[in-house]
Amino acid sequence: MAESEKVNAVRRLLTVAGGAAPLMYASTLSTPAVAATADAKANTSQGSSKGQTTGALATTLPPPGLNMHAGYAQAIARMAYVWGWPMVNMLNRFDRITQAPYPGLLNGVLPAAPRGQLAMLHDYIDPAETFVTCPNQDVVYGLGFFSLDEEPVVLQVPDFGDRFWVYALYDARTNQFGHVGKPYKSRAGFYLLAGPNWKGSKPAGITEVVRCPTALANVIPRVFMNDTAQDRQAIQPLINQVVAYPLKRFTGKMQTIAWRDAPNIMPPAQANADSAEAGETKWVVPEKFFDQFPTVLATVAPMPGEEALYAQFRSLMEVAGRDQDIKKLLTQIAIDTERDAIAPFFEWKHNGLPAGNGWNRSTNNAQTGFDYFDRTGTAKSNMFDNRPTETQYFYTDFDQSGAQLNGANSYEIVFAKGEEPPVNGFWSLTLYNEKHLFYPNDLKRYSLGTKNNTLKRNADGSLSLYAGAKSPGGDKVANWLPAPNGKFSLYIRAYWGKQAILDGSWKPPLIRKLS
């Protein structure tokens, strides 16, 4: 993207109101010493017999021109890196994906579209994808990125009937907004996505206006599909109606795109190097982080209660703007914090809370609030997950003895009769390599669960699934997840979980190493 286009993109993404936007951006360089936080007029307390008067309250902020020493700058910078990592991640995904000249498949694999539109797959996602870790092969995915203050977007929802579906809508913080999907009994129709400062009114023919708290947003539709030729055919007319476009193109009639025929898009030169062997695309580059961080401060307004954090971060950036030694220090702090604080999130034991039998479960996924640990950990390990009420995730790197899962061994995972994940939607068990991506195999099998009608159950009604590099042979092959000859992890999804999933009373099964 040309430099002038980047500047324009920043302007489009500003989420603060009207003329205050330039001031907020400027405040990343110069911070006022005092900000009023209450009306300047005194108020008389009605509950006091003395009629006590309370004057205006003011919050003292760091002044510009501080001679900030390296130790203090280091402390603030480490927190800034952990706090801002998911949002810099989102900015870079937005920049990359919206370079698509038209809706299609990036490198023939990943759905991509210009800003204000989306693209859909027509089948399960290809194992070669590196856009995001921990993809699933239970749904047909879509992807689109938006700048909603400048350009509200119409999102079409066809009549999916009894099929499970959900449109996960994410803001710049990686949290979900809105409720559009089968769990919410959403109707077929046209949903208008608008930013916090859009001033328009609901047009005729629009089913619902869904407000995003930030201008930057994205959507990932998920539509369940059984692993059969019949369902692959049946789903096509439905997903062809999953289309998004700017409000100015709204006609009141369903527009369709034959996603099976979506054109291939050649990616930018730097993206050609991305490969599944190398892991997920590196969306946050430590050496560039603090060059991009002011954009986050300018385009994502603080949540109530975050004002003090913003003041410290802006003060740090003001100092770095005039002190080259501090600026160089920030680069090193970013590199160190990536290694020490971000990289460990790739181990599942550092994500969520214990769920029993050696598994962990997600907690505040996609509704993190002030839970920066969850927000950053999820952005590193499995970004774009769903709310707990939509999906609960269980994950582990270990067998029941606490040993690392390794494809050189064979494992059995037994769901007792009636103890498969209790869901209203669907469930699956997925195997990932050490990069949290699919392991290519001759069976082209990466997960097992509701979508499979070929699973073999035991005589007592229980279900045994197998994982390992070596085939278990015979009828067990239908229940086998091929693994690499090395480390791997297992991951259970429970979509639209019942109460036992929501309250944590359901426990994932033991993973038993076979002799």
Tens of pLDDT, residues 194-203: 999 999 999 9
Q: Which of the listed CATH numbers 1.10.3720.10, 1.10.260.40, 3.40.718.10, 2.60.40.1610 matches domain 100-267?
A: 2.60.40.1610
- Residue 245's closest CA among 103, 345, 142, 352? 103
The C-alpha atoms of residue 464 and residue 222 are separated, in whole angstroms, by 27
Of the pLDDT bands very low, low, confident and very high (cuts 50, 70, 90), residue 277 is low
Measured CA to CA in angstroms, residue 324 lies from 202, 266, 329, 332 at distances of: 50, 39, 8, 13
Of the pLDDT bands very low, low, confident and very high (cuts 50, 70, 90), residue 59 is confident
Residue-level pLDDT at 39: 33
Of the pLDDT bands very low, low, confident and very high (cuts 50, 70, 90), residue 278 is confident
Tens of pLDDT, residues 390-440: 999 999 999 999 999 999 999 999 999 999 999 999 999 999 999 999 999
Tens of pLDDT, residues 299-339: 999 999 999 999 999 999 999 999 999 999 999 999 999 99
Of the pLDDT bands very low, low, confident and very high (cuts 50, 70, 90), residue 34 is very low
In what side-by-side order are the strands of the sheet with 216-224?
Answer: 118-120, 139-147, 216-224, 165-171
**CB-CB contact of 508 with 394 (8 Å):** yes
11 pLDDT exceeds 80? no
The total of other beta-carbon atoms located within 10 Å of residue 121's CB is: 24
In what side-by-side order are the strands of the sheet with 189-194?
Answer: 208-211, 189-194, 153-157, 244-246
Residue 101 CB partners (closer than 8 Å, separation 6+): 114, 265
- Residue 245's closest CA among 231, 255, 235, 237? 255
Measured CA to CA in angstroms, residue 9 lies from 95, 153, 365 at distances of: 9, 17, 28
Residue-level pLDDT at 267: 78
Residue-level pLDDT at 276: 54
Lowest mean pLDDT among 52-56, 178-182, 341-345, 481-485: 52-56
Superfamily of domain 348-514: Domain of unknown function DUF1214, C-terminal domain (2.60.120.600)
2 pLDDT exceeds 90? no
Residue % of the chain over a pLDDT of 90: 85
Of the pLDDT bands very low, low, confident and very high (cuts 50, 70, 90), residue 268 is low
User: What value does the mean pLDDT of the chain take?
Assistant: 89
Residue-level pLDDT at 29: 37
Residue-level pLDDT at 413: 98
Domain boundaries defined on the chain: 3-32+61-93+284-341, 100-267, 348-514
> What residues does 492 pair with on adjacent strands?
394, 429
The sign of the torsion formed by the CA atoms of 462, 465, 470, 471 equals positive
Domains 100-267 and 348-514 are alike in CATH topology: no
Write the single-letter amino acid at 60. Answer: T
